[in-house]
Structure 1
Amino acid sequence: MNLTDRFELTINGTPPDMVGAICEGFVCESLRVEGEPPASANTTYLKFHGSWYRLYFEFRCIFWRRFEELIFPWEDETPWTDHVNITDEFEIVGQRLVSCAVSATDEGSEVAFAFENRLTVLIQDRNDRASYSIADYTHEGKRN
Structure 2
Amino acid sequence: MAIKVLEIHHHGIRIDAGEKTIEDLKNFYTGVLGLEHDTGRPDIPGIPGMWINIGEVGQIHLIGGDLPSRFAQGPDKDPTLPHVALAVENIVETKAELDRLGADYWSLKGATGPDAEQLFLKDPCGNMVELHQYDKCRCRLKSRVKAA
TM-score (ref. length: structure 1): 0.27
For the pair shown, the structure with the greater C-alpha radius of gyration is 2
Higher helix share: 2
TM-score (ref. length: structure 2): 0.27
